[in-house]
A and B are shown apart, each in its own frame.
Chain A
Amino acid sequence: KAGVTQTPRYLIKTRGQQVTLSCSPISGHRSVSWYQQTPGQGLQFLFEYFSETQRNKGNFPGRFSGRQFSNSRSEMNVSTLELGDSALYLCASSLVGGTGVGGNSPLHFGNGTRLTVT
């Protein structure tokens, strides 16, 4: 099976612009989550989509948004970019149904999109 694919791999944008990142999950995975990774804050959960619906959201401003399509592919959008949005954005997909007691199937991550805001 092909892994999680994120495009583009690198992106350079200017403050005030907007950006759209794309994620194709592993075939059959219906849950797609997005994480932001920075040296200062570490890995932070942005949001999760399942069957085209957002079912979890982290503590990020409304400038961060996302969506999921019927084929489970997902996009996230950041509007009015700020310097602090520079980060590695990681997408992860997982199976639904859990693995017995305790839920939380393992996440399968893509290699991320490195966003630099200047």
Chain B
Amino acid sequence: SQQGEEDPQALSIQEGENATMNCSYKTSINNLQWYRQNSGRGLVHLILIRSNEREKHSGRLRVTLDTSKKSSSLLITASRAADTASYFCATGGSGNTGKLIFGQGTTLQVKP
């Protein structure tokens, strides 16, 4: 079953604009991760935010986490055509394992 629900399912913007994707989850978590997937390829890890963190930055990426609302958002600033991809949030439970539960993803199209 899917833990995360992502919103919107699809997003189309112009190059240079900001893109915001949201993720909601159901159960308590230890951390939340965001991944990117280019069409037909494997997933690439973008950023991990722990349950005791509220905000994290990495380059043009900014992730927020609100554990009281069980939600997270990923902001991509100054988007580029190369950012066109699907973005997934994933949550992990206790323990350091490879078992993550992924959301359905947001498909982002950045038009040049």
Interface set of A (CB-CB < 8 Å, partner B): 4, 31-33, 35, 42-43, 45, 48, 50, 55-56, 58, 88, 90, 92-94, 96-112, 114
Which of A31, A50, A102, A108 is the one whose CB lies under 8 Å from B31? A102
* A residues in contact with B104, CB < 8 Å: 42
* A residues in contact with B48, CB < 8 Å: 99, 104, 106
Contact present for A48 and B98 (CB under 8 Å): yes
Instruction: Report if A104-B30 is in contact (Cβ < 8 Å); known contacts: A43-B88, A55-B97, A97-B96.
Output: yes
Total inter-chain residue pairs, C-beta < 8 Å: 89
Contact present for B96 and A96 (CB under 8 Å): yes
B23 CB → nearest A CB, Å: 13
A35 CB → nearest B CB, Å: 8
Instruction: Report if A31-B44 is in contact (Cβ < 8 Å); known contacts: A42-B105, A102-B30.
Output: no
Size category of the B interface is 20 to 34
Chain B's interface: helix, strand, loop or mixed, by majority? loop
Contact present for A112 and B41 (CB under 8 Å): yes
Contact present for B41 and A104 (CB under 8 Å): no
Provide the bound-state CA to CA distance between A109 and B50, in Å: 21
Contact present for A106 and B45 (CB under 8 Å): yes
Which of B88, B100, B105 is the one whose CB lies under 8 Å from A45? B100
Provide the bound-state CA to CA distance between A93 and B98, in Å: 8
